[in-house]
Amino acid sequence: MKIYFTLDENNRLTGWQSNPSHVEGEIELEVDDDHEVLQRSMIYKYIDGELVKDEEYLEELKEEYEKEQSKPTELERLEALEKAMLELILRGGVGG
């Protein structure tokens, strides 16, 4: 299968398509129909005419995702604030 893609400033694919768009810098490459780049193009770099999985960048993305998942939601933050305010009121710390 032929794919057409452009690169960002780090030589990572910005996406791909099956038809040429004729934009400047577009690259044409033949890949297997089941190549991972077809599902996860942003983790691939184009180096010396080949697609190379950027394992370091993939690890960064995983860490960023895990960090984001561990953040409390807006609802959790509001509930914690409500609980703290209620504790203050019950101890006579507000409006007394």
Range with lowest mean pLDDT among 8-12, 40-44, 70-74:
70-74
pTM listed for this prediction = 0.65
Write down the pLDDT at residue 64. Answer: 92
Give residue-wise pLDDT tens across range 54-80.
Answer: 999 999 999 999 998 888 889 988 999
Q: How far is CA 30 from CA 5, 51, 60, 61, 72, in A?
A: 11, 10, 28, 27, 44
Give residue-wise pLDDT tens across range 12-39.
Answer: 999 999 999 999 999 999 999 999 999 9
